[in-house]
Structure 1
Amino acid sequence: MTASQVNFASFIQARDRAASTSVVVERFKEQAIVATGVEMVYRSGSQVYPVLRGVDLTIQQGDIHLLMGPSGSGKTTLLSILAGILTPTAGSVKLLGQEITKMSRAQLAHFRLQNIGFIFQGFNLFPALTASENVEVALKVKGVRGATNRRRMAHELLAQVKLDDRINHLPRDLSGGQKQRVAIARALAGDPQIIMADEPTAALDSHSGHAVIELLRQLAKQSNRTVLIVTHDPRLIDVADRVSTLEDGILRQ
């Protein structure tokens, strides 16, 4: 065997070992979100309207996962079930190893408060409060004590989303992208392990939307957070680790 053949054989062996190691690492990554056989049926009189049909979905800890599909496909319904806001007609959901579909309403509320941050399409900021105060409210709800401590933490979170020069601005004085950055800072309050976002770029132009999602991706990767984004915007695909498509209540990976 020539030297070049030996080198090529060594390269193939090293590549195969790396691929094998990658598969093992992926297999043993923690599962942040696991949905099994999730179904959702709405009834109106004698009429039955199936919205979700046997959805199975697994999202690994630290992944950015896009849930895509046309309007009316059931994306927001599935997100609400995964967040414990809605109870499925059938199936189970586990978040961070805990089966939330077996929790009481009080247990669910506490679990969401401690472990999930939400980002909404319409920002949902309090118009009479500054950027800092909007984040401080979230910190207070999360149980952070002391006004001074909450203010300091809010300023740190706003600095993370590059809004340290807009701390005392009201929402009306912020651009759409800046408002969504405040919403991201608020979602990060309390250091949740899971972030769920419902059409977070729908109210933004292309540039602002991509910049906001890229920032969210960077912040999530720094802390190994799991991010689930419901969107119909294909421009976000390049920031995702995984993409699932929901159509007519059926999930396709």
Structure 2
Amino acid sequence: MTASQVKFTDFINARERAASPPIIVERFQEQAVVAKGVEMVYHTGSHVYQVLNGVDLTIERGDIQLLMGPSGSGKTTLLSILAGILTPTAGSVQLLGQEITQMSRSDLAHFRLQNIGFIFQGFNLFPALTASENVEVALKVKGVRGSAKRRQMAQALLEQVKLCDRTNHLPRDLSGGQKQRVAIARALAGDPQIIMADEPTAALDSHSGHDVIELLRQLAKESDRTVLIVTHDARLMDVADRIASLEDGVLQG
């Protein structure tokens, strides 16, 4: 399963917070992401496919890191591994000082829930829920109790992404850029230290894409969040602190 196939409903259905206390990491690590020697090999019948080959990647806290490369280069696979969704064939990944490749599935689920926010290319909003309700669902999953409190927090998050005038609109009544802003507000629920985004501007026109790019920059710099973006969009290069490119499973830059 790739990062692009992971839907927000998967996190809800899993009820990841139910079994044990959350793993919350203090905000003092200089390095948000450290991947060493990451490899991913798939076996299909008699064929062996090496998708990633000895990837080393370090992302400093508060940086915007772009991961670029042609289709089939392994970008989404690497994002999935860094997010703890896939387990690499070899190598290690540390997020916020925690070795996630050594965590149990339960601990890893809790770690993701508390420390990582996800933004998807296809928005993955619930069509029958308003913008506010979509964010409230995320807050409920993250353990915020009380519907009034969740609504207040959702309103604040939507205001943060400059969408306070669309809180009661359904997704069908929102533009592509507005839908992505709701998705970003949802990713901010619980104040995660890391945001991981898979092609966040791919479905947007030039104007909406620029607005989302600027919003992601503000979120990273004003709140000291780390943002990792898989993208083909060259417009994002202007806001990136670091850019790496994957070619045939090998990281360049």
How high is the TM-score relative to the length of structure 1?
0.88
Cα shift at 1:225: 0.3
Partner of 2:110: 110
Partner of 1:35: 35
Number of residues of Structure 1 aligned to a counterpart in Structure 2:
226
Between the aligned partners of 1:169 and 1:124, the Cα distance in structure 2 is: 16
Taking every aligned residue pair, what percent have the same amino acid on both sides? 85
- Return 5+ residue gaps in structure 2 as ranges: 1-27
Partner of 2:16: none
What does 1:1-253 correspond to in 2, within 5 Å? 30-253=30-253
Partner of 1:9: none
Q: Which moved more, 1:176-185 or 1:202-211?
A: 202-211
Cα shift at 1:29: 7.2
Cα shift at 1:136: 0.1
- Supply the AA of the counterpart residue of 1:244: A
Between the aligned partners of 1:133 and 1:65, the Cα distance in structure 2 is: 30
Q: Which moved more, 1:60-69 or 1:204-213?
A: 204-213
Cα shift at 1:46: 1.8
SS at 1:71 equivalent: coil
Cα shift at 1:108: 0.6
How high is the TM-score relative to the length of structure 2?
0.88
Which has more radius of gyration?
1
- Return 5+ residue gaps in structure 1 as ranges: 1-27
CA RMSD, aligned part only? 1.0
Indicate the structure with greater helix content. Answer: 1
SS at 1:32 equivalent: strand
- Supply the AA of the counterpart residue of 1:136: E
Between the aligned partners of 1:101 and 1:177, the Cα distance in structure 2 is: 35
Moved over 6 A (4+): none
- Supply the AA of the counterpart residue of 1:99: E
Partner of 1:11: none
